[in-house]
Structure 1
């Protein structure tokens, strides 16, 4: 999704976020607000939909729940109140297995799996800043989906739950399994559109 930072020096919080006009989509990362484009491209939507179907079908009747953007994930620092929370993100796909983290506003705390689908405008933020953000907040598993190169990069926390292990890469010819659902095999040929369909 396309992001543009707000042109001011104010530090924003979740309380501010709730006052912004309905229909506008924003993320706040460490107090900096980023506008999100109103509609991702067709290829982005296809990939997101394909992943959501595969994961959603598997999760039917299970404890874990899956959500597609826009879905607010609040990541408060230790001791930070709800209103003062300085990080609110809207991942493309979010899976949460702890029902206590869910409320009518979305998710408060770290999801079990976050998936972000890259666009040219978000690539550096999703690959660098959000990876560090999710690692620091204990998001157990993070997938970065690169539509142009048809690759998924997977990160998952180490045994100490303190940092991400070495990245793993999966191409269109591979299958991928979420670490939290190792029995689920996702064939990436079913996720990425054929090259001739991308034009």
Structure 2
């Protein structure tokens, strides 16, 4: 439990001052000013990868720009990391009760009431994670379960080295694999009707 550890009440500028096994909240997260990027998943600290590799950035830019162009004039909005997504148990939870803060590579939010100056409070409609060697386990296990239980309607997992995308749709509170997409094909989104992008454009360098 949190009270078993010495959780600093003042701003923290050195990550080594934190207890790796302690349970932290978004209120704690807001006090951290160290350079390392981290996420909180159910109160536990997960370090993010260092600066993303070139192919990771290229894919993120390609996908993000395709979605942004499609959404021009529409109500949904697209955001790219670093962008904080808070996933509270209850929509009115205060900062000290929110134990999960993640930074998806790309997310689409259609409910504007979830947006504020700090990012998003509540589940995005679509989340895209681009795997890297240091975050693959987190994205495929921890975040998969997290997004599923918080009601993210659609989850894309992008494999840069294989030019492959897995797409999951939320059905009856469980993710169902729509397909593994590779090669000269196009993919669409269940939450963004009429949006379509070719994998050649996604992985174009």
> Structure 1-normalised TM-score?
0.89
Q: 1:20, 1:189 → 2: CA distance?
A: 40
1:44 is aligned, of 23, 37, 56, to 56
CA-to-partner distance for each residue in 1:77-122, whole Å, 9 max, x for gaps?
A: 1374322210000000010000000000000000000000001111
Q: 2:190, 2:149 → 1: CA distance?
A: 19
Query: Aligned with 2:45: secondary structure?
Result: strand
Q: 1:105, 1:38 → 2: CA distance?
A: 22
Query: Aligned with 1:164: secondary structure?
Result: strand
Structure 1 runs of 4+ with >4 Å offset = none
1:122 is aligned, of 132, 135, 139, to 135
Larger mean CA deviation between 36-45 and 55-64 belongs to 36-45
**Superposition map of 1:31-110 within 5 A:** 31-78=43-90, 80-110=93-123
Question: Partner of 1:25 in structure 2?
Answer: 37
2:166 and 2:177 in contact (8 A); partners too? no
1:28 and 1:86 in contact (8 A); partners too? yes
1:148 is aligned, of 145, 156, 161, to 161
Larger mean CA deviation between 23-32 and 116-125 belongs to 23-32
CA-to-partner distance for each residue in 1:129-188, whole Å, 9 max, x for gaps?
A: 111100000000000000011110011111x3x111234211131100011123122011
2:177 pairs with 1:166: yes
Question: Partner of 2:147 in structure 1?
Answer: 134
Q: 2:185, 2:142 → 1: CA distance?
A: 27
2:185 pairs with 1:187: no
Q: 2:175, 2:137 → 1: CA distance?
A: 18
Which entry has the higher C-alpha Rg, 1 or 2?
A: 2
Q: 2:192, 2:31 → 1: CA distance?
A: 38
Query: Aligned with 1:58: secondary structure?
Result: helix
Higher helix share: 2
Root-mean-square deviation (Å): 1.9
Question: Partner of 2:11 in structure 1?
Answer: none
Gaps of 5+ in 2: 1-17
Q: 1:71, 1:111 → 2: CA distance?
A: 12
Count of paired positions: 189
Query: Aligned with 1:148: secondary structure?
Result: helix
